[in-house]
Amino acid sequence: MISNEKVLILFGTQTGNSEDVADRIGRYLTRMHIKAQVVDINEYAVTNLVNESLVIFVCSTTGNGEFPDNMKLFWNFLLRKNLPNNSLAHLHFSVFGLGDSSYEKFNVVSKKLSKRLLQLGAKEMIPLTLGDDQHELGYDAVLDPWLLNLKNTMKSFFIVSDPPIPEDVPLPPRYRVEFCDKFSSADESQSTTFDRNKSFPLATLKRNERVTADDHFQAVHHLEFEIDSTIHYDPGDVAVVWPENPPEDVEDFLSLLNVPLDTNFILIPSVVNVPLPKINSYPCTVRQCAISYFDILSVPRRSFFEVFHHFSQDELEKEKLVEFTTAAGQEELYDYCNRPRRTILEVLKDFPHTTPHIPFEYLFDVIPSIRPRSFSIASALKAHPQEFHLLVAVVQYKTRLRKPRQGLCSNWLAKLKPGAMIPFSIKKGSIALPETNVPIIMIGPGTGCAPFKAFTEDRAAAAIGDNYLFFGCRYKAKDFLFSETWLELCKKKMLTIFTAFSRDQDDKIYVQHRIAENGPLVWDLIQNKKGVIYVAGNAKQMPQGVKDSFVKIIKKEGNLTEEESLKYLQTLEHMKRYQIETWA
């Protein structure tokens, strides 16, 4: 038994889902009178792991089996060869993974983490659990039974004499809010000044152009930004930007609140060592929060209702909200929120006898923060000094709700006017050019071609040929992205392009068909000339179709069995000669 101890909950995430699950676990333990500390894994000193007794890891898998950005340093430390096999022998742990089974490497990050912790001598409290975003109930499908298992497991570690805090009693908020135009020195010492515009470099929008036909179903924008001469990036790198909520939705949200909108406030954590949120800028006003911090257009998760229902002043509203928090009510919640993609703002308006009564400080518990978005850079510095370009597909679609659903960041970017300045950062992408001048085979349908514009521009500037692009879209006349760039490079003998316009003929033709048609060339490039293959684009069906085409080519041209062909492709992947960058 362990008394007066805490459970540390570390989350690694790119989208916020892991943070949400970690918070739910933390609240669950708090109701059991067990101290729980929820921490971003990037803000945790990994060397302290040797001092921990109980740790729950909640981590997501990104892209093609990649660790989320905030986990990479932590993971690299765990991989150090000088760590003794018994270095974590004192540690009891559980790993709850979040993944998407439509990806080939489903939940591979949580599997690797669990295996490595066991190698270092740690003991598993609850077997590795894998959540699947493709499940109709999402991660809740496995989280509910997992929490019951956790409850029983904790009884063997903690002596808890007090009865659990009832579900109808709200837990204290994460922060206390103090409004004041001028703060005392004591108040200011508890605040952390943060300004995104000062913490990150600024890019100035030079050009914003729609590059698909006006009558095409999908609006795609090509944006050109000017940047400082000191900023460097490589082909394959990614630009990270922070979107803002649309002005009309901000005003809609602010009209629901009963607090001073333009008076500065500070947040005081209710628990020691809880980090302050990175609001732009902070100390700030409620209006600033509504513009750049609260993700009011995201779909609320179950945890939203677990807090929200406590403040309802109407019997019927409360009954419905409580139902959404129960295991039995998850199908109803899915039908209300997830299926139509109903936003937090719309939910707040749907419950007019509850929303006015939720204290402002609890909004930091129920509304997630706006997450930065990452885009492959569609330019090379050699061709465009002091610039980076983005290729953005504007997300907009219909559900049963009257108002069309819109992607927050893509619509924000599409509406930016020349001269607008935005904070950004550069990070390494999951694909990169080879160090030698070997041939490259690029498969990039749709906006997947963005990093390959950077690849070909960079190599063309250095007079490196042997660049082969398989590009696919619906219509040659409507969404042949960067066509002028590709054709100009072809004229200069810097590029060979194979196009698949799927709707320009009766039979649909995709990039995987063009790959299959060029089997002898592809085999020569990868077998004899040691070429590198890159695949970028939507994760749904394209990557698997492309992989199948390569396996068939390897099997036929290399005269190998199916098993040998798969192993050949796996070897290429291991050697970084088959690189994938996909997104949902």
Q: Is 512 annotated as a binding residue?
A: yes
Architecture label for domain 247-366: Up-down Bundle (1.20)
Q: Is 375 annotated as a binding residue?
A: yes
Asked whether the beta carbons of 321 and 354 are under 8 A apart, the reply is yes
Q: Is 61 annotated as a binding residue?
A: yes
pLDDT of residue 53: 92
Distance CA 304, CA 339 (A): 17
Q: Is 104 annotated as a binding residue?
A: yes
The reply to whether CATH 3.40.50.360 applies to domain 7-157 is yes
> 528, 389, 555, 371: which is closest to 457 by C-alpha?
389
Q: Is 583 annotated as a binding residue?
A: yes
Q: Is 47 annotated as a binding residue?
A: no
Distance CA 59, CA 113 (A): 9
User: φ and ψ at 114, to 5 degrees?
Assistant: -60, -45
Distance CA 72, CA 174 (A): 27
Q: Is 582 annotated as a binding residue?
A: no
User: φ and ψ at 365, to 5 degrees?
Assistant: -90, -30
Q: Is 15 annotated as a binding residue?
A: yes
Tell how far CA 128 is from the center of its chain.
22
Q: Is 176 annotated as a binding residue?
A: no
Q: Is 40 annotated as a binding residue?
A: no
Q: CB under 8 Å to 167, separation ≥6 — which residues?
A: 31, 325
Asked whether the beta carbons of 63 and 583 are under 8 A apart, the reply is yes
Q: Is 133 annotated as a binding residue?
A: yes
Q: Which amino acid type is present at position 47? A: T
Q: Is 99 annotated as a binding residue?
A: yes
Asked whether the beta carbons of 156 and 29 are under 8 A apart, the reply is no
Q: Is 14 annotated as a binding residue?
A: yes
Q: Is 100 annotated as a binding residue?
A: yes
Distance CA 140, CA 144 (A): 6
Q: Is 18 annotated as a binding residue?
A: yes
Q: Which residues pair with 473 in a beta bridge?
A: 501
Where exactly are the structural domains of the chain? 7-157, 202-243+372-427, 247-366, 440-582
Distance CA 560, CA 77 (A): 40
**From edge to edge, which strands make up the β-sheet containing 202-210?**
373-376, 238-241, 421-427, 202-210, 220-226, 387-393
Is the whole-model pTM more than 0.85? yes
- 10 Å Cβ neighbour count for 479? 22
Q: Is 549 annotated as a binding residue?
A: no
Q: Is 410 annotated as a binding residue?
A: yes
Q: According to the 3-state scheme, what is the secondary structure of 196-254?
A: HHHHCCEEEEEEEEECCCCCCCCCEEEEEEECCCCCCCCCCCEEEECCCCCHHHHHHHH
DSSP state of 125: E
Q: Is 530 annotated as a binding residue?
A: no
Distance CA 351, CA 349 (A): 5
Q: Is 408 annotated as a binding residue?
A: yes
Architecture label for domain 440-582: 3-Layer(aba) Sandwich (3.40)
CATH code of the region 202-243+372-427: 2.40.30.10
DSSP state of 360: G
Distance CA 226, CA 203 (A): 6
Distance CA 146, CA 128 (A): 10
- 10 Å Cβ neighbour count for 321? 24
DSSP letter for each residue of 6-67: EEEEEEE-SSSHHHHHHHHHHHHHHHTT-EEEEEEGGGS-GGGGGG-SEEEEEEE-BTTTBP
Q: Is 552 annotated as a binding residue?
A: no
Cα radius of gyration (the chain): 26
Q: Which residues pair with 7 in a beta bridge?
A: 36
3-state secondary structure (DSSP) of residue 446: helix
Q: Is 407 annotated as a binding residue?
A: yes
Distance CA 253, CA 148 (A): 36
> 386, 449, 421, 378: which is closest to 223 by C-alpha?
378
Q: Is 409 annotated as a binding residue?
A: yes
Most distant pair of Cα atoms in the chain: their distance: 79
- 10 Å Cβ neighbour count for 285? 18
Q: Is 63 annotated as a binding residue?
A: yes
Per-residue tens of pLDDT for the chain, all 584 residues: 454 478 999 998 766 688 889 989 999 999 999 989 888 898 898 989 989 999 999 999 887 778 888 898 899 999 999 999 999 999 999 999 998 887 778 899 999 999 999 999 999 999 999 998 888 777 888 998 999 999 999 988 888 778 888 888 999 999 999 998 765 555 555 555 677 878 899 999 999 999 999 999 999 999 999 999 999 999 999 999 999 999 999 999 999 999 999 999 999 998 776 778 888 888 999 999 999 999 999 999 889 999 999 999 999 999 999 999 988 898 899 999 999 999 999 999 999 999 999 999 999 999 999 999 999 999 999 999 999 999 999 999 999 999 999 999 999 999 999 999 999 999 998 899 999 999 999 999 999 999 999 999 999 999 999 999 999 999 999 999 999 999 999 999 999 999 999 999 999 999 999 999 999 999 999 999 999 999 999 877 899 999 999 999 999 999 999 999 999 999 999 999 999 998 86
> 195, 227, 215, 196: which is closest to 390 by C-alpha?
227
Q: Is 184 annotated as a binding residue?
A: no
Q: Is 16 annotated as a binding residue?
A: yes
Q: Is 503 annotated as a binding residue?
A: yes
DSSP state of 355: G
Same CATH fold, 440-582 and 7-157? yes
